[in-house]
Amino acid sequence: MGLCPECLIKAGFPAGTEAETSNPSAFVPPAITEFAALFPQLEILELIGKGGMGAVYKARQKQLDRIVTLKILPPGVGKDLAFAERFTREARALAKLNHPNIVTLHEFGQAGGLLFFIMEYVDGVNLRQLLANNPVLPREALSIVPQICDALQFAHDHGIVHRDIKPENILLERRGHVKVADFGVAKLMDMASEEPAGQGMPAESSPLTGAGNVVGTPTYMAPEQVEHPTLVDHRVDIYALGVVFYQLLTGELPGKQLQPPSHKVHIDVRLDEVVLHALEKKPQRRYQHASEMKTAVEKIAVTSAPAGESSPPNAEALAAKVLSRDYLNIGNCLRRAWATVKGDFWSLVAITALVLVLLSALTSANKGFEMNTVTKIAHLNLGLAGILFASPLIGGLALLFLKAVRKEPFGLDTAFAGFKDWKVFLQLFLAGLVTQLLIGLGFFCLILPGVYLLVAWQFTLPLVIDKRLDFWPAMNLSRKAIAKHWWKFFGFLLALLLVLLLGLLCLGVGLFVAIPATIAALMYAYEDIIHSSTPKPQL
């Protein structure tokens, strides 16, 4: 029909979840109203995912008031008593996988003919969603892969092989912690497909597998998993992780003619050896244990930064990139900011409050000190005594919120990142000092120049601590980027001021929510204008 063999293969085995749903006889998730009565202990909230191996719902355990995930397997797979017994045996083994990088199994069983799991709910995104929004930076990939290795090694030590490692089954919490989902489910599906006709559901009518079908996602399968699916061992997970690692680094799946990742993107060439070793076609030539792969990845991460990230970017090149595009959706920044603060509320509120208390202590000796809440990130009306430590503190707070909006791990130490490197500390100090002097001079001479500079230099401190720019290039880039749409950004700051005033009206308590929300919104604006690499979920 005019199609080459490669195109036919791709049509027969599409990537991602499509491979599970392209079959016309694929499992169709039941509506919540159809089965909610089978789970009186749960309040079923919404359908959050589906595929050939079942459907996943968000639910709330009423007695514990805990959000959980309910996964139901397709009807029919558990009709045979022998399979139901094996399901129970396998599920008990899965319940023993108590590891911080593995989604916890709380409960399993059968209700109204439906086999089900009740599992830990992970509030975040999976790798497929992350890759769909923006490319993953090499340093982020080097943070994600060792955590997956830990999960796999723990499961393999307990005799459990995942058999379906792919981006959809790797979840990232809001703070960057990795959780691997669906351990053992592929094996259960294999068991369902192996049930002979005449024992429960006829094999030819199975919604999961037809004659000769292989359970899993073909683009992530090791060669032996396709050729001999019943004879695989833990090394198929290492191969699949190699595919995922390749995709994280390059944004692509490995081609028929496998090219090293460094031939496609600018990364440390030592990563080629790790990825290609994991993708060896013969199992005996791969890493024999996930822990070996983790050690190799961590050695590269520790000994040197990935290529292209070891030195500060060229300010002129960065400015050209920033000024070449439009940006800033005010409403979107505010919505994403609220979602971020709500998702990590107590950490962000507590650390922000601590930093503000320290700033107040630094400035308490200055008469007439007033905090301009709109510009708390980039500028405070500080005396010279306070500005020595205030600017590094504000820069650290900006970095903390940048990590929060990027879904990267952060902690209390992040807020003090401005004090860890004396060069960064010096540039933050100089940036704060120079901007305050020039803004004050602008207000003293004429009001409008002061207002202009106050708005235009909002990104100075974030640029210093995030991009490691010197203070003057950072000030210049901030001014150029914001001046492109100065009035729109001025309106954005007025909107933040309104949020803060509303928080103040709530007896002052609302400021504990309003201040982190406005900082997060300002950092989302920074991401959209300067960095442009943060996933932007549709809210």
Percentages helix, strand, coil for the chain, rounded to the nearest 5?
55, 10, 35
CA geometry: angle at 27 spanning 81 and 113, to 5°?
30
**Range list of H helices, 251-369:** 270-278, 290-303, 315-323, 330-343, 345-363
- Tell me which residue of 437, 399, 434 sits closest to 418, measured CA to CA: 399
DSSP 249: H
Dist. CA 404–CA 414, nearest whole Å: 11
- How many C-beta atoms lie closer than 10 Å to residue 295's C-beta? 13
Dist. CA 13–CA 15, nearest whole Å: 7
Sequence-distant (≥ 6) Cβ neighbours of residue 291 within 8 angstroms: 149, 153
The gap from C-alpha 75 to its chain's centroid, in whole angstroms, comes to 33
- Tell me which residue of 183, 231, 184, 190 sits closest to 209, measured CA to CA: 190
> How many Cα atoms are found within 13 Å in the side-chain-facing hemisphere of 319?
16
From residue 231, alpha-carbon distances to 36, 235, 240, 283, 331 in Å are 38, 11, 16, 12, 54
From residue 104, alpha-carbon distances to 107, 118, 532 in Å are 9, 9, 34
From residue 493, alpha-carbon distances to 54, 164, 188, 323, 354 in Å are 47, 47, 54, 20, 24
Catalytic residue among 65, 80, 123, 164: 164
164 is annotated as an active-site residue: yes
Sequence-distant (≥ 6) Cβ neighbours of residue 447 within 8 angstroms: none
From residue 224, alpha-carbon distances to 5, 189, 284, 447 in Å are 21, 18, 11, 73
Give the SS3 label for residue 72: strand
Tokens 């603060």 correspond to 341
Tokens of 323: 């000024």
User: Which residues are known catalytic residues?
Assistant: 164
